[in-house]
Structure 1
């Protein structure tokens, strides 16, 4: 059954069948051929896979991200980031990276971050003296941090698949996301110094205060979300609802950039995006059930424990596997397929479940802009109009520095766990 499952999955992916269909059809056909289980049981497994309280947060965070973008919250975050770091070496590029980190704390979506920040900053980057390859690489890579910094949709999926606390993952994602972002900032600074990129004028105290005032309501979003979760006022699922309602109130009544007409369109688009993610989760849950029924996770766990006795080596192998998977699969799909296999082996070796989740999501965040099929590359291409070969030199440099950040996150668990333990 497993042999047929893997062959069918690979064939479907090679011939470009959508991932949710590839996973679902491969699972269905394998079970029907090699067992007497009736199809209705498989349908029930798919629906029960969606019956997870943590998954209720997903559509509301998607809605909140879209409302924030349409309501002008992202643009004000960008203006504040420019006033904050725009005068430093590599100021425009630093603004792009810092704004992406802020927006990641609003949206939890990597592609949404690339679109929201990139369409505004790319013309400024070119005008500021940065070459097209660097600028394209920056746009594609800067959105990656959104997968790690809470509220991250991918962390929610990991929690739903493994049963790890969403709140704990969110806390750990704060420091890990900052480390990943800083690794890009280091390269930006080196690049600016090497190419003698001219500095911008420092924002005056009045301009900084003004930009902060305009962005204040936007900056309150992560404070409300994370503060409410960590103080126990509401759960991550309730926080998603609060963020969506808050974003609507600010966009409609304070910034006055939302109307009922575009709010309806945002709601429809958010529903479609949520459905696309959830149908993938349902197929992956069926896939995971088939693997569990055949005791594949237990066999993988036993094999890894017997043959890979070093945690350091285990984590290195895990990073390599996930970085390769990230080249071909979107983060949510990769998590739903690999987490059920990796989780038992990792926990059996004494790896903290929260740390494991951060490692996996950080790998897949980097995969979002890793050739040949990193989604952020294609989104950045629509903004920059560059071909893949033109973007590769810029992307490769960010990859090197982000992988260095990944290794720090992997082998220094306290980066992810110290805040969680403190709280």
Structure 2
């Protein structure tokens, strides 16, 4: 009965628009009090949930992304992507996706991509005569590449919750991220041909060379992060520190675009974002502890295995559950709650945790593009001035390639696990 109260209270508070961290915390407090447990258990589990060395990567990756946004790096990235793929039909649509691939190696968050590159991309596409629905749709969909290609804040959270190597998760996200980009470019090409969108600019080796030189130092950020982790030079947490320091050097000493005032603003923004993320992690840890204590994972496994023992059908049902959760819950909270429930089932079925991590994160990224939560859509609505409802409709066609990639990755795990196995063999 008290477990039922836990879920009713959580969804009731969410419907009342209570922030997810407080909804998780208040429903957990109610459960603890009804069970007659000492309230100190809440604080004890929250502190344990946040007391993790790998979680130190979060504030530094957030800081690195914020510094890159403030230093004018986004325009350099956009210019380089424009030189490479602008010659294709629907050129700026392809540039949009290409810029997201590059920026993914710096920010690690879909909302950061949408907020940082979104304004530049949508403005350029409007000036070139692209329809708002197309511009917003491709910008929203391409921003989901960020949390798949390393570095990735959701993958850090998953690695901590599942006790899985964050380095392995980072490497495993590279191929799926490129597959997402390729599928989105196909959709961009199809819509562009149908609507008669023009190419952006002719391809020129000399232009590519100039733009590459301009963007070279920012492009080194993902090389430092991924290269350092893969080579064993430093851990993901240390890589985050190096990325933040490198971004600071670029903004202050190389491009001279970050003043003391802007650095203070960026620091405050980082502190606020980190505090909100860790608050969610802490309260979600308490919620997950309650689920574990009540053996919800075992009951859920018995339920699925009672329906079928087919591994692929169970995977499909798990993905459906994750998708539904992602429609209503913020990504970090969803990961923290789902991992203790799904991981034991995955292990029982022989599913690699690294594979599970990538497909769960991709699934939750699709949730960022759908109401009622749709955080990326809210950001782009604000950036572009396009009504939220129109943003939802604009994004629908781009969900098709993303869902197709998700299904392919779900049923062909080698696509995710191949690169980590190669790296381990080096």
TM bucket normalised to smaller? over 0.9
- Partner secondary structure for residue 386 of structure 2: coil
Which residue matches 1:199?
A: 199
Q: Aligned partners of 1:135 and 1:257: how far apart in 2?
A: 28
Give the Cα–Cα distance (whole angstroms) in 1 for the partners of residues 112 and 26 of structure 2. 29
Instruction: Give the RMSD, CA atoms, in angstroms.
Output: 1.2
Q: Is the 8 A contact 2:154 2:331 kept in 1?
A: yes
Match of 1:273 in 2: 273
2:30 alignment counterpart: 29
SS at match of 2:233: coil
Partner SS, residue 88 of structure 2: coil
Aligned 1:258-297 pairs, distance under 5 A: 258-297=258-297
User: Does the 8 A contact of 1:134 with 1:393 survive in 2?
Assistant: no
Q: Deviations over 1:98-117 (max 9, x none)?
A: 10111111110111101111
Which moved further from structure 2: 390-399 or 54-63? 390-399
Is 1:175 the counterpart of 2:175? The answer is yes
Question: Which 10-residue stretch deviates more, 216-225 or 326-335?
Answer: 326-335
Residue 359 of structure 2 corresponds to: 359
Unaligned runs of 5+ in 1: none
1:191-340 equivalence runs, <5 A: 191-340=191-340
Q: Distance in 2 between matches of 1:118 and 1:108?
A: 15
Distance 1:20 1:384 in 2: 28
| CA distance in 2: counterparts of 1:182 and 1:357, whole angstroms | 21
In 2, Cα distance between equivalents of 1:328 and 1:134: 25
- For these two proteins, the number of residue pairs brought into alignment is 422
Question: Could you tell me how far apart the structure 2 residues matched to 1:225 and 1:388 are?
Answer: 35
Deviation of 1:125 after TM superposition, in Å, equals 1.2
What is the deviation of 1:411? 1.1
Q: In structure 2, how many angstroms separate the alpha carbons of the residues matched to 1:318 and 1:295?
A: 17
Q: Distance in 2 between matches of 1:141 and 1:149?
A: 14
2: CA distance, partners of 1:285 / 1:372: 24
Once the 2 structures are TM-superposed, how far is the Cα of residue 203 of structure 1 from its aligned partner?
A: 4.0
Rounded to whole Å, the distance in 2 between the matches of 1:46 and 1:390 is: 39
CA positional deviation for 1:8: 0.9
**After the TM superposition, which of the residue ranges 394-403 and 230-239 deviates more from structure 2?**
394-403
**SS of 2:146 mapped into structure 1:** helix
How far the C-alpha of 1:122 sits from its partner, in A, is 0.8
Cα distance in 2 for residues equivalent to 1:103 and 1:201: 22
SS of aligned partner of 1:383:
helix
Which 4+ stretches in 1 moved above 6 angstroms? none
Separation in 2, partners of 1:183, 1:71 = 31
Greater shift in the superposed pair: 142-151 or 302-311: 302-311
What is aligned with 2:6?
Answer: 5
Distance 1:393 1:18 in 2: 26
Alpha-carbon deviations, 1:324-350, whole Å to 9, x = none?
222222211111111111111111111
Q: 1:209 to 1:177 in 2, by over 3 A?
A: same
TM-superposed deviation, 1:127: 2.6
Partner of 1:88: 88
Q: Tell me how far apart the structure 1 counterparts of residues 308 and 43 of structure 2 sit (CA, whole Å).
A: 37
Deviation of 1:355 (Å)? 0.3
Gap runs ≥5 in structure 2: none
Give the aligned partner of residue 51 of structure 1. 51
CA–CA distance in 2 between the matches of 1:393 and 1:127? 22
Q: Distance in 2 between matches of 1:66 and 1:99?
A: 16
In structure 2, the residue matched to 1:389 is 389
Q: Distance in 1 between matches of 2:47 and 2:375?
A: 28
Does 121-130 or 234-243 show the bigger shift? 121-130
State the SS of the aligned residue for 2:175: helix
